[in-house]
Amino acid sequence: MKRLLSAYASDIQTMTKSDFKQSIKASEGRILLGETVVTAAPLIAGVTNAEMMAAFGCDLLVLNEFDVFSCFIQDFYACDNPIAELKRLTGRPIGINLEPVDETKEVLDEQVFLSAGRKVSPATLERANELGVDFIMLTGNPSTGVSLSAIEGAIRLAAQHFKGLIFAGKMHGAGLGEAVVNEEALLEFVAAGADGVLIPAVGTVPGVREEILAPIVERVKEAGALVMSTIGTSQESADSQTIREFGLSNKRVGADIHHIGDGGYGRMPDPENIMALSIAVRGKRHTYFRMGQSILR
C-alpha cells in the first residue's frame, strides 16, 4: 500500500477500501480534494472540470449535484457510466455528494428541493456502488435543510449499503441555524460508521477558530477517523494568499484532507488556487509530481 501522495493511477486501482483510507492517513495532511458542480458548463469548453482539477494537482475529485439516476454531467459526451469514464480520464478516485435532508426542519431562507437521485437512500447508495463511486460525502448544499441529526442517520444507512469510504459533516449551515462544528455530533458520526468527518476551514465560517477546532480534530482522529477541512463558502475564488492561509491553518489544526469547493468560475475552484493550496501544504515537489504524472503509469 502506497501513501496516496505518492501513488500512481495503477496503484489507486488496486486499493481496497481500507488501503484507500490508510493511504490518505499516511500522506500526513497533504491530500487535496477538488469539488465541481456537474450541472454547470465547465470552465473550459471541451475539458471536464474533473480533468481540470486533476491537472492542477487534486488527488481526489467530488461531483456536486450529481444525480445517480440520471447521471447527467453538463457538456460531457454520452457514455454508459460517466463515473467510470471520469476515473479513466483522470486516474483519480471520484466521490459524490448525497444529501440527508431533514424534513422536520424549516430553513432560514428559500429552500432548495432536491431530486431523489441526490438524496441519501438505500437506492441511491446501491446505485453509487454500481457506478463505482469511491467515496461519498454526506453533507448539505446551501438552503437544502440538511441537519446534523439527519447526517448521523444517513451514516448508519450508508454503512449498511455503500462499499466505499464515507465522509460526513457540514461545510456551512445548509440553511439551518444549528452550529456547524459540534464535537459530540462529529464523534457520533465516527461511532455510526463514518470513515472521516468534515469541518469548515478556519476563516470560512464565522467563529470557527484554530483553538476550537484543534482539540476536536485530535479527538476525532483518536477515534480512528480522517478529518477533511473544507472551503465551501465561495472563498475558493478568493486571492491565492487567502487560500494559502487556509491551507497552513488546516495543517496546524491537523486535517488529513484539504477540500477546495466549487464556488469559482465554471463552478469549480480557480485552478491557480488549487495549485496555491497544493504548494502551501506539500511544496512544489509533490505538487509537480501530481500535476505532471501520466495516468497511464
Q: What is the pLDDT of residues 100-119, one digit of tens each?
A: 988 777 777 777 788 999 99
pLDDT(228) > 70: yes
- At 241 the pLDDT is 97
Position 260 in a domain:
yes
137/95 Cα distance (integer angstroms): 7
Assign 200 a pLDDT band (cuts: 50, 70, 90): very high
Position 10 in a domain:
no
99/57 Cα distance (integer angstroms): 27
Calculate what percentage of the chain has a pLDDT beyond 70: 99
Structural domains counted in the chain? 1
For 103, phi and psi rounded to 5 degrees?
Answer: -70, -10
Q: What is the pLDDT of residues 25-39, one digit of tens each?
A: 999 999 999 999 999
Q: Which SS3 state, helix, strand or coil, does residue 291 take?
A: helix
Position 44 in a domain:
yes
Mean pLDDT of 180-189: 94
Assign 154 a pLDDT band (cuts: 50, 70, 90): very high
Mean pLDDT of 184-208: 96
| Extended beta strands in 127-270, E state | 135-138, 165-169, 196-200, 226-230, 257-260
- At 175 the pLDDT is 66
CA dihedral 264, 259, 76, 38 (to 10 degrees): -70
- At 111 the pLDDT is 78
Position 238 in a domain:
yes
Q: Which SS3 state, helix, strand or coil, does residue 100 take?
A: coil
57/292 Cα distance (integer angstroms): 9
Assign 140 a pLDDT band (cuts: 50, 70, 90): confident
CATH number of the domain to which 256 belongs: 3.20.20.330
pLDDT(180) > 90: no
Q: Looking at 142-146, 222-226, 284-288, 289-293, which range is the least confident one?
A: 142-146
pTM score: 0.94
212/215 Cα distance (integer angstroms): 7
Mean pLDDT of 260-271: 95
Mean pLDDT of 42-57: 97
Position 8 in a domain:
no
Position 13 in a domain:
no
Domain holding 50, by residue range, is 26-292
Position 20 in a domain:
no
CA dihedral 65, 106, 109, 35 (to 10 degrees): -20
Across-strand partners of 226?
196
Position 19 in a domain:
no
